[in-house]
């Protein structure tokens, strides 16, 4: 990361964490958390050490999808993340179990986010995936402006409303000078009797990526099994048998790795050695 502008908070690295990827969306209901969970698991299956931070403090559903119910414990001042499906996990839902809603104001939420980033014992990670709250509000901006992200992935569906909000999310990241690794289109199509049914429209994610001049990373098809497995705490990326969604998440993971590496190479200063 380059020097921060006057008045900005410096972005302090998280010791041991090599890459931080934020998963965002302009609106709710596009499957952002599903993408974050299955991307994290897929990265772990590819042999990387991975953490998953559920920063969606108002609707923290990641522990349910990951099948985690235990409360984290602390060693000294360091909160220990929960291991699930090869991923180290931390979520507000683990500290605030049950259906009791959080009624916290911005500064308190921002404090919790910083605690999750700085006081959780993430250990050595190749990738920390952060599931942001939907939208472009204060929690998202505070996290982005205080965290040295490798980049962000924006999740959308093919519907016109979702695509309009995806453009807002891309603009938010660009306005705070964060690299957008690309757009992923969720719920792209439904396979039925060998035919693809485009339930929410066709090709909108790719067109939006072209319009916004950012990479298009992957299309994730609709599959009822995704919801069923997510609800049962065993996400679809844990499957070992061939599946269209598993293949799509592998494509997304490899594209994210490639983009993350390219972004880091670009950020490194060029050293010229004089003759």
Contact between 137 and 110 (Cβ < 8 Å):
no
Distance CA 104, CA 21 (A): 25
Q: CATH code for 17-262? A: 3.40.50.300
Distance CA 5, CA 10 (A): 9
* Structural domain spans, the chain: 17-262
The secondary element (H helix, E strand) that includes residue 127 is: strand 125-131
Contact between 130 and 148 (Cβ < 8 Å):
no
Per-residue pLDDT of the chain (275 residues), as tens digits, is: 444 444 456 788 899 999 999 999 988 889 999 999 999 999 999 999 999 999 887 778 899 999 998 889 999 989 999 999 999 999 988 876 655 555 555 556 667 788 888 899 999 999 999 999 887 777 777 788 888 999 999 999 998 888 898 999 999 999 888 999 999 999 999 988 889 999 988 888 999 999 999 999 999 999 989 989 999 999 999 999 889 999 999 999 999 999 999 988 776 554 444 44
Residues ≥6 apart with Cβ < 8 Å to 49? 123, 124, 125, 126, 127
pTM (predicted TM-score): 0.89
């Amino acid at each position: 990361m380059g020097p921060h502008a006057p008045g900005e908070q410096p972005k302090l690295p998280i010791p041991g964490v090599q890459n931080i990827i934020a998963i965002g969306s302009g609106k709710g209901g596009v499957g952002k958390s599903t993408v974050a969970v299955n991307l994290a698991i897929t990265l772990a299956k590819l042999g990387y050490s991975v953490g998953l931070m559920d920063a969606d403090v108002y609707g923290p559903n990641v522990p349910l999808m990951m099948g985690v119910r235990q409360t984290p414990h602390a060693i000294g001042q360091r909160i220990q993340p929960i291991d699930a499906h090869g991923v180290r996990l931390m979520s507000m839902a683990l500290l605030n179990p049950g259906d009791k809603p959080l009624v916290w104001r911005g500064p308190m939420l921002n404090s919790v986010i910083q605690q999750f980033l700085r006081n959780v014992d993430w250990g050595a990670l190749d990738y920390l995936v952060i599931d942001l709250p939907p939208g472009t509000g204060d929690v998202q901006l505070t996290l982005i402006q205080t965290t040295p992200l490798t980049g962000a992935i924006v999740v959308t569906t093919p519907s016109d409303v979702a695509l309009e909000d995806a453009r807002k999310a891309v603009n938010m990241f660009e306005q705070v000078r964060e690299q957008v690794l690309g757009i992923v289109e969720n719920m792209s199509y439904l396979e039925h009797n060998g035919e693809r049914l485009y339930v929410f429209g066709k090709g909108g994610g790719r067109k939006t990526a072209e319009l916004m001049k950012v990479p298009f990373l992957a299309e994730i098809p609709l599959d009822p099994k995704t919801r069923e497995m997510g609800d049962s705490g065993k996400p679809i990326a844990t499957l070992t048998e061939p599946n269209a969604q598993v293949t799509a998440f592998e494509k997304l993971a490899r594209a994210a790795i490639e983009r993350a590496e390219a972004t880091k190479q670009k950020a490194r200063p060029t050293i010229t050695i004089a003759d």
